[in-house]
Amino acid sequence: MIEIRQLAKQYGSIQAVDGLDLIIDVGEIFGLLGPNGAGKTTTIRMLTMLTRHSGGSALINGYEITRDLSKVKKEIGVVPQHMNLDLELTARENLELHGRLHKIPGTERRQRIQELLDYVELADRAQDLAGKFSGGMKRRLMIARALMHYPGVLFLDEPTAGLDPQTRRKIWDLIRRMNSEGMTVLLTTHYIEEAELLCHRVGIMDRGRLIALGTPAELKKMVGEVVVEALNHGDTEYRFFAGREQALEYAGSLAENVAIREANLEDVFVELTGRKVGD
Amino acid sequence: MKIDFYTVFWREMVVLRRTFSKFFASRLVGPLLYLVAFGLGLGRSIQMNGGSYMEFIVPGIIALSAMNTSFSAVGTNLNMSRLYHKTLDEYLIAPISAGAFVLGKVLAGTVRGLIASLIILVLAFLFGAHLAVNGWFFLVVVLTGFLFSALGAVAAMVVNSHEDMANFSTFVILPMSFLCGTFFSPDRLPQVFGYVINVLPLTHASYLLRALVSGQGMLPLSLAVLAVYAAVFFAAAVAAVRKVR
């Protein structure tokens, strides 16, 4: 369980995270969705103690992140956005290094390494240097590394950024599998589809603040479940409706070409901020 | 602490074993050129304190090589790890202390410095230099490697770009390479230079190694200076790692 209270980070005059309040339950896949610069990565860096927070507090499985630092380190696994594998080591050695840093005894460590290499389907590449791996393989190895010391909470910062659609789905399957085995997952993403298809609950962040929170279905209900897109003097106008019938009725009243589709989390973001997630 | 520093050291040794031939070759070229150019070429007609110029410069080149190798082994790699590869994060989120991390890195840098020094020692014997090498000699090389590895760690943690890391080498390491009793005795310079040069660590490493190989024995003050530098740089590196978050 992750309990975040009024967590804040200030860089000079910039408020990167501004009084974040959030509770993430055990066994949940929670997604922080928002554009670049929304404060998602800073939030993860604060929760994983790579960046000091300037205000508020956070508990991970009951341990306060600064007071109980060493206990928190054992509770969490971290997959950063930046590919930070040791490229001069093999896949096995990367896991070995992590296992040694977490003081896992030799026999257990070797067993765990084999188990995880099988889990992320890299057993046949165990002796290859991580520098020779593709983007998807590197990400899978980073996940295996984060799991080495049996953490209860896994942080994934943009876990599929820059990966092709097929590899992205493979990573999603892996995250779902870990979650089904009891892992609590907090991930950040700027991919709408990832937040909708993977996360049990989503928090939308913008300019350091949490501006909406709920299941993907609840969030979409906030704006209306069906969208009519109509072109008006070169600009696309969006109208939201609770049901398809009302949307069809409205679309029929318009002279120009229109498109009718289901609402997504991007629409929620646009409605709340007036901007697109990618802007 | 014991296991933790060894884990950091273990990683460095795995990489050193894997890249040893490249490391060995790169450490061979510079000293070989110095020995040929200054020892055989320029130095053939020079006598220093009654001995050959080759015998004068070998301890200096050993100190210089221990400094350069250890400094860049830790400095460049750690700076890249912090700013570019971000592999430092893996250590920062692990349950190990800043002291253990720095000790592992610095000892690995010291090992590289020691190997580089041994290469020169072997080359010098092949070139016909007569040097009296004993345990104190290796202790001084280890201390030199340790203190410059620790300085490399400090620089890597506080310097915020690769370019500035190169500048640090240009403004701090390079002047020491030439002025600190490596290729000539600083007594020949105007006194004002002498004062500055005499507080720099490489000067004392050169003096000590030269005194030891020529049979003059230990210089306790120089040894103390090196030990103090090593302790101060190590403490500064630990503080810099603690502060990085």
Model ipTM value:
0.90
> Would you give the DSSP letter of residue A131?
G
Domain boundaries, chain B: 2-243
Query: What domains are there in chain A, each with its CATH number?
Result: 2-214 (3.40.50.300), 219-273 (no CATH)
B90 interaction partners in chain A (CB closer than 8 Å): 84, 86, 97-98, 101, 145
CB distance B87–A85 less than 8 Å?
yes
Q: Which chain A residue shows the shortest CA-CA distance from B242?
A: A50
Task: Chain A: give the shortest CA distance to residue B229, in Å.
Answer: 29
Cβ–Cβ contact B19 with A under 8 A: yes
Which pLDDT value is given to residue A138? 95
CB distance A89–B89 less than 8 Å?
no
Tens-digit pLDDT string for chain A (279 aa): 999 999 999 998 899 999 999 999 999 999 999 888 899 999 999 999 999 999 999 999 999 998 898 899 999 999 999 999 999 999 999 999 999 999 999 999 999 999 999 988 999 999 999 999 999 999 999 999 999 999 999 999 999 988 888 888 988 998 998 899 899 999 999 888 899 899 999 999 999 999 999 999 999 888 888 888 888 777 778 888 888 888 888 888 877 778 888 888 888 888 887 766 555
Cβ–Cβ contact B94 with A under 8 A: yes
Contact B144, B67 (CB under 8 A): yes
CB distance B15–A89 less than 8 Å?
yes
Task: Chain A: give the shortest CA distance to residue B146, in Å.
Answer: 23
Name which of B3, B14, B94 is nearest A89 (Cβ-Cβ).
B14
Nearest CA-CA partner of B73 in B38, B125, B34, B117: B117
Which pLDDT value is given to residue A90? 97
Grade residue B129 by pLDDT with cuts at 50, 70 and 90.
confident
Q: CA-CA distance, B208 to B215, in Å (whole number)?
A: 11
A148 interaction partners in chain B (CB closer than 8 Å): none
How many other CB atoms sit within 10 Å of the CB of residue A134?
A: 11
User: What is the percent of chain B with per-residue pLDDT over 90, rounded to a whole number?
Assistant: 64
Residues in chain A whose Cβ is within 8 Å of chain B: 48-52, 70, 73-74, 76, 78, 80, 82, 84-89, 93, 97-98, 100-103, 145
Tokens of A135: 């983007």
The mean per-residue pLDDT over the stretch B38-44 comes to 74
Which residues, 6+ apart, have CB-to-CB distance to B112 below 8 Å? Answer: B16, B23, B69, B70, B73, B145
Which residues, 6+ apart, have CB-to-CB distance to A38 below 8 Å? Answer: A32, A205, A206, A207, A208
Q: E strands, chain A, where?
A: 2-11, 14-24, 29-33, 55-60, 63-64, 76-79, 153-157, 184-189, 201-206, 209-214, 226-232, 235-241, 258-262
A79 burial (CB, 10 Å; 0-12 / 13-18 / 19+) is buried
